[in-house]
Structure 1
Amino acid sequence: MELTFLGTSSAVPSKYRNHPSVALKAFGEIILFDCGEGTQRQLTNVKISPMKIDKIFISHLHGDHILGLPGLIQSMGFRGRDSENPLHIYGPIGIKNIKKAIFELGHFFVDFPVIIHEIENTGMTTNIIFENDEYAVECIKTHHNINNLSYSIYEKKKPRFLREKAIELGVKPGPDFGKLHNGHSVEIGDNIIKPEEVLGTPRSGSKIVYSGDTIHCEEMINLAKDADILIHESTYKDKDIDKTVNNAHSTASQAAKIAKEANVSQLILTHISTRYTSIDDLKQEAIEIFENTEIAYDYLNLEI
């Protein structure tokens, strides 16, 4: 799994920070979290092809998180993305209207399906919004001044295959090993060998959580529980706590409290206000509460 931060600013971009977007390379896919203005150019700079993007998860409908969608979709069409390669976009109620607006914006043509998944979530519990054999994506409504969804993506890691145990039971190396590791019983002579006989204990895979815009809240803590990486907005410093309250954002120290309470392994701060020319204080406020904290910058790349 590989994370690339395409944009790390808040509402207004700066010379050094683009509007919010994070790309995840994993499971043979490229997945985006949010798509701020300029995202397709940022993708070019890190040599990620937009043609390979399968899914985009939108946290909320403020412009700094969605205004990259029109250009990205139009460019995909211009470059010949075909009907065999649908683009799935997930987001809060209202995102179907965003698709309608995009397709009425200027004159262009696309030959691929843009499939919108509007998500309803009350914040009472998480929703699994996508799941296959390799990974699952959950979301929960968190607290911003409009409907905001925070996302968790986690790997479904198979139990370790006990090769020697399988051989002892008469299973020969080959296709039957794969069947058992994938959860299917195999017949060996008169015996049925079940997967649980040759698999180790369950293993937890990697888990990444993305906050979108939110204040400190219990819902965010629940979603981020035991995550390997929590990507959390950190728009303000503590001295600007009044702006945090008025605009429903988080300070660095509030994000750090969530990381600590959720027992995450690493905290990455993003969505940094352009009012700050130095981020040293921002990082220090977080580290005093949660030591393993980094502040994202555009083009930051992390292997997980």
Structure 2
Amino acid sequence: MRVTFLGTSGAIPTTQRNTSSIFVNREGDYLLFDCGEGTQRQMMRYGTGFAVDHLFVTHLHGDHVLGIPGLLQTFDFNDREDPVAIHTPAGTRGNVKQLIEANGTTPSYPVRINEVSAGDTVLERPEYEIRAIATEHRCASVGYVLAEDDRKGEFDRQKAEEVLGIPPGPKYSKLHRGEAVEHDGRTVQPEEVVGPSRPGRTVVYTGDTLPTQSVIEASEGADLLVHDATFAEDRKERAKATAHSTAKEAADVAQQAGVRSLALTHISTRYAGRAGTLAGEARERFDGEAFVAEDGMERHVQFPDSE
């Protein structure tokens, strides 16, 4: 799974940071989270491609959605026929529809606008799902959790072949699928050669939010938490007044949730050229890896048992 940060600035873009958007390539499924102004250009610049079928919107502030009309228009110019689903917080469907139709036209391909609430399973696939989680901002908002299913346990080929005498073949596949097989007059159970199930990967994206218990709970054990870190601690009151988080507050969330890596994003323009301040403050509170996300940065999310 690869996460590409397309936009990591706060409300205002800079020469180095675009407005909010991240792109996730999950084993060939292309997923876009938020779509600030200029996102389509970032997609071209960083080579993600446009094969997106699902867009997950955290809230409707302009720095998270103003790129949607342009992206959908580009899809149209490229003769797209496949449908696109836009997932947006409950109560905002009409606003998204108006945004799409602001220039007086509608896309020639199907666009489905799906309202979601915290706790909803927004997208369900055979090996993973995406859920909406509660966040706290100045408008209707949600965050999203991409959670993979547990994987099969490791198959002990050496034991199967050398101890149990089962030659390589279809019986291996059956055992790995959890089916018992008959061999040399006895029933071999899967647990004899297959280890315990192994956890999948989890990525959490908060969008804009105050630090909240709901995010802590949703992020428990996550491999990557992408959290609002608009301000440093000296602007804590400003963060509270605008319903954002400081880097230290994001780190506290990560520490309590026991995540592996914390990406700080939605960086205020006041930290242009000195975003390292935010990373330093986060590392004072968080024992894991903490870094400031930069436009174009890619993170390969490894399985928890790969290290």
Tell me if both proteins adopt one fold, taking TM over 0.5 as the criterion.
Answer: yes
Instruction: Give the length in aligned residue pairs.
Output: 297
- Structure 2, unaligned stretches of length 5 or more? 302-307
Classify 1:131/1:177 alpha carbon distance in 2 versus 1 (closer, same or farther; 3 Å): farther
In structure 2, the partner of 1:69 is 68
8 Å CA contact 2:117–2:142 kept in 1: the answer is no
2:154 paired residue among 157, 160, 176: 160
Q: Distance in 1 between matches of 2:84 and 2:186?
A: 46
Q: Name the CA shift for 1:78/1:294 in 2 (closer, same or farther; >3 Å).
A: same
The alpha-carbon deviation at position 195 of structure 1 amounts to: 4.9
Return the alpha-carbon distance in structure 2 between the equivalents of residues 94 and 6 of structure 1: 27
Query: Are 2:292 and 1:295 equivalent residues in the alignment?
Result: yes
Work out whether residues 180 and 186 of structure 1, in 8 Å CA contact, stay in contact via their aligned partners in 2. Answer: yes
SS in 2 for 1:153: strand
Deviation at 1:120, TM superposition (A): 2.1
The worse-fitting range, judged by mean Cα deviation, of 60-69 and 282-291 is 282-291
Aligned partners of 2:59 and 2:139 also within 8 Å: yes
Whichever residue aligns with residue 162 of structure 1, its letter is D
* Equivalent-residue separation in structure 2 for 1:25 and 1:151 (angstroms): 15
Report the equivalent of 2:218.
Answer: 223
Q: Could you say if the C-alpha distance between residues 180 and 301 of structure 1 is closer, same or farther in structure 2, counting changes exceeding 3 Å?
A: same
2:124 aligned with 1:131: yes
**How much does 1:170 deviate?**
7.7
AA aligned opposite 1:119: V
What secondary structure is seen at the aligned counterpart in 2 of 1:275? helix
Contact 1:234/1:252, CA 8 A, preserved across alignment: yes
- Counterpart in 2 of 1:279? 275
Within 5 A, what are the aligned runs for 1:83-94?
Answer: 85-94=82-91
| Aligned pairs for 1:193-212 within 5 A | 195-196=190-191, 198-212=193-207
User: Counterpart of 1:254?
Assistant: 249
Deviations 1:237-271 (A, max 9, x none): 11111211111000010001001111111111000
Counterparts of 2:70 and 2:202 in 1: how far apart (Å)?
30
Q: CA deviation at 1:182?
A: 4.2
The letter for the 1-side match of 2:46 is: V
Tell me, in whole angstroms, the C-alpha distance in 2 between the residues paired with 1:196 and 1:159: 9
Cα offset for 1:158?
A: 2.4
> Cα offset for 1:196?
4.9
Distance in 2, matches of 1:103 and 1:147, equals 19
The aligned amino acid for 2:290 is: T
- Report Cα offsets for 1:124-182 as digits up to 9, x if no partner: xx443322221121221111111221111122222223335555778654455445534
1:144 correspondence with 2:143: no
Question: Residues 93 and 109 (structure 1 numbering): CA distance in 2 closer, same or farther, change over 3 Å?
Answer: closer
Instruction: Summarize deviations over 1:181-223 as a string: whole Å, max 9, x none.
Output: 3456667799876655543201111211111111111111001
TM-score by length of 2: 0.87
Deviations 1:18-72 (A, max 9, x none): 000011111211111111110000000011211x112211111111111111111
Distance 1:183 1:148 in 2: 41
Query: What is residue 48 of structure 1 aligned with on the other side?
Result: 48
CA contact (8 A) 2:117 2:132 kept: no
Cα separation, 2, equivalents of 1:170 and 1:114: 56
| Residue identity in the other structure for 1:144 | H
SS at match of 2:269: coil
What is the Cα deviation at residue 86 of structure 1? 2.3
Aligned partner of 2:260 among 265, 268, 287: 265
Which consecutive residues of structure 1, in runs of 5 or more, have no partner in the other structure? none
The sequence identity of aligned pairs, in percent, is 40
Amino acid at match of 2:26: A
1:299 Cα deviation after fit? 0.5
| Helix, strand or coil at the partner of 1:90 | strand
Letter in 2 for 1:105: A
Query: How big is the alpha-carbon RMSD for the aligned residues of Structure 1 and Structure 2?
Result: 2.4
Secondary structure of 2:271's counterpart equals: coil
